[in-house]
Structure 1
Amino acid sequence: MSEPEVRSFTVGEDDDGIRLDRWFKRHLAEASFNTISRWARTGQLRVDGKRATPGDRIEAGQTIRVPPPERAPVKPARPQRRVEPLTSDEEAFVREMVIAETPDGFVLNKPPGLATQGGTKTSQHLDRLLDGLAGDGEARPKLVHRLDKDTSGVLLVARSARAAAFFSKSFSGRTARKVYWALVVGVPSAEDGLIDLPLAKQPGTGGEKMHVDEESGQAARTRWRLVDRAGNRAAWVELQPLTGRTHQLRAHMAALGHPIIGDAKYGGAEAFLTGGISRKLHLHARRLKIDGPGDVIDVTAELPAHFAESLATLGFEPLAGDNLPLDTPDPAKDPAVKARRAAAAAKTARKARKGERRSRGAAPAKANRR
């Protein structure tokens, strides 16, 4: 079998003035930047017979000498992780979580204590159980977002990759509305407010805890409203996250001085109340409203037993939280959305200017191989 030959290309008019690495991206995208750099270091990459570097500007009519395509090294096959099939009890367990179905997804009511995804020490998790929702010949459902292990409530999973991409775009675009209920220690001094405190991973915790970091933290905003109060002892609040940072609601309420009941990670010993109040985390994803590829999904999830019992013990009316109106988001006012739109506008402007420069020259021609 003969060895592949050195290749030679002529720079077309439409590539006049661009960097050499950009030319590769347009015409030989299979050559990685590291490969191109190695060719340059070893003198194998040449323009009009002279050694070239990836950052050199090229001109129409020049000849680019390119080494033969490299054969990808054969990688040893990775051992496949053995996935234990679900038991009949596990299949029944995950199906009992389903509170709504659409052609595009399942809406679950995740119980507290069940992790959304696996980890080093987590073998039982929702992601593993999703096989139990796939019917004959159907694809395995895909996670779209997640809840903390001890947080209960609404969780959406997609039936297909297309639906997952659509839902993910709704979450990242801030058009999905998520409403959480929480019982917190003490009573906030106002009826409602916006917590706008950047969050970052707390050093020394292995990334498992967040803290407020005004200098280098990521933007994090939470809208909150007071539903009811039990004297000065505790309050029932509605939380609407406007961003999606790790442990955002828990860290924000602790920073406000009112940690969520049962949240030892962020509230310490002060996060627990006496008088028969459960020591479990009192944070529940009550409602999710999101546009689907088909219909709008708007679902509420019933409270877990410990949360419902605490409401009764503190004298709260169980359905009072559902009487508050759902905020309608305005993406145009979201800083993250503004930044993405500004970047997209700048990119469009750059392309327009580049097109104007090209139109002043000769008619574009494709790169010719000879």
Structure 2
Amino acid sequence: MLLSDRILFLDGEALVIDKPEGLPVDPPRDGSLSLENHLDSLRFGFKRWPLAVHRLDRDTSGCLLLARNPKAHGRFTRAFEGREVEKQYLAILEGVPTSDHGTIDLPLGKTSTAEAGWRMVVDPKGKPSVSHWEMIAVEGDRALLRFRPETGRTHQLRVHALEGLGFPIVGDPVYGRGGTKTRTMLHAERLVVKRDVKPSIIAEAAFPDRFAALGFSAPEGAAPTRG
């Protein structure tokens, strides 16, 4: 797997890759490969390795922004923290919502137990978490949704799907019925970061084959299917 073949956007300060599912952004405890093992191939003439600006879960594929210098990293990080970044995700749910669109506003907090480990839960005292959603298609007893999160909390869409809509994302091993051999069906399809002087960073990741394998087609206007 060559991440240099999965470039969605590239200029002097920014790089967006189509991260494959199964690749963690941060080095895992088990010592398996992560984004760090690929950073040297993403220098494209720069001496520094690019720096990830945000995180996608191991199972989540799609648009991942990296900064090519520390100043850009700081600006992009502030844009994410200030809710100035447009993000779109696709998810397949283990069920069909009763309406076709809406907004989920559920604050999230972290909990941990010795038996089950840590997870995110709805917590009135937690951090604000807002996700807008619309239903794109239905196949059998599953639905393809597009999420537009305003905030970027850990596991936000996974918890909002379960607690806000009543159905987990297909394959989710923590909040759904997935296991160790399944992949959570979540894909970061579009990312837009506005900049003061330079043109906006706009990246779109193709509809993944794993979604097509469950009977869904790419939404109208989406990039061609890709594994």
Residue 122 of structure 2 corresponds to 212
AA paired with 2:150? L
Q: Find 1:318's aligned residue among 191, 205, 218.
A: 218
In 2 relative to 1, CA 309–137 (structure 1 residues): closer, same or farther, beyond 3 Å? closer
TM-score with structure 2 setting the length: 0.88
Q: 1:303 aligned to 2:207?
A: yes
For residues 9-55 of structure 1, the C-alpha deviation after alignment (integer angstroms, 9 at most, x for no partner) is: xxxxxxxxxxxxxxxxxxxxxxxxxxxxxxxxxxxxxxxxxxxxxxx
- Deviation string for 1:282-341 (max 9, x for gaps)? 10000001113621011110133212222xx2xx4423375xxxxxxxxxxxxxxxxxxx
Does the aligned pair in 2 maintain the 1:238–1:321 contact within 8 Å?
no
Greater relative contact order: 1 or 2 (C-alpha under 8 angstroms, separation 6 or more)? Answer: 2
Counterpart for residue 254 of structure 1? 162
Q: 160, 168, 183: which one pairs with 1:280?
A: 183
Quick check: 2:170–2:177 contact (8 Å CA) kept in 1? no
Further displaced range: 92-101 or 252-261: 92-101
TM-superposition CA deviations, 1:265-298 (whole Å, max 9, x none) = 10136x9xxxxxx942210000001113621011
Amino acid at match of 1:301: A
The 8 Å contact of residues 173 and 182 in structure 2, kept in 1 or not, is answered as no
**Structure 1 contact 141–160 (Cα < 8 Å) conserved:** yes
RMSD: 2.1
The aligned residue for residue 194 of structure 2 is 291
Structure 1 runs not aligned, ≥5 long: 1-91, 272-277, 323-370
Alignment-derived partner of residue 133 in structure 1: 42
CA distance in structure 1 between the partners assigned to 2:2 and 2:30 by the alignment: 21
Name the structure with the higher helix share: 1
Q: Aligned partner of 2:104: which letter? A: I
Name the TM-score, length of structure 1 as normaliser: 0.55
Distance 1:143 1:181 in 2: 21
Aligned to 2:64: 155
74, 96, 100: which one pairs with 1:191?
Answer: 100
- CA, structure 1 residues 127+100, in 2 after alignment: closer, same or farther (shift >3 Å)? same
Higher strand share: 2
Residue in structure 2 matching 1:115, options 20, 24, 34: 24
Aligned mates of 1:122, 1:308 — CA distance in 2: 31
Question: Which deviations, in whole Å up to 9, do the C-alpha atoms of 1:72-128 show, x marking residues without a partner?
Answer: xxxxxxxxxxxxxxxxxxxx7121221221221111000000000113224411033
How many residue pairs are counted as aligned between the two chains? Answer: 218
Counterpart check, 1:225 vs 2:134:
yes
Structure 1 letter corresponding to 2:220 = A
Q: Does the C-alpha gap of structure 1 residues 299 and 137 become closer, same or farther in structure 2, counting only changes over 3 Å?
A: closer
**Which residue is equivalent to 1:344?**
none
Q: Which has the larger radius of gyration?
A: 1
Work out the percentage of aligned pairs sharing the same amino acid. 37
> How far apart are 1:137 and its partner, in Å?
5.0
Runs of 4+ residues deviating >6 angstroms: none
Alpha-carbon distance change, 192 to 128 in structure 1, aligned in 2, over 3 angstroms: same
Contact 2:207 2:218 in 1 (8 A): no
Alpha-carbon offset, residue 139 of structure 1: 1.9
Question: How far off is 1:186 after superposition?
Answer: 1.2
| Match among 196, 200, 221 for residue 109 of structure 2 | 200
- The question of whether the paired residues in 1 share the 8 Å contact of 2:89 and 2:188 is answered with yes
Flag structure 2 segments of 5+ consecutive residues without an equivalent: 223-227
Question: Does the Cα contact within 8 Å between 2:90 and 2:188 map onto a contact in 1?
Answer: yes
CA distance in structure 2 between the partners assigned to 1:112 and 1:263 by the alignment: 13
Give CA-to-partner distance per residue, 1:138-197, whole Å, 9 cap, x none. Answer: 322111011000000000101111111111111111111000000101111111111111
Aligned-partner residue type, residue 159 of structure 1: R
Q: Does 1:145 align with 2:54?
A: yes
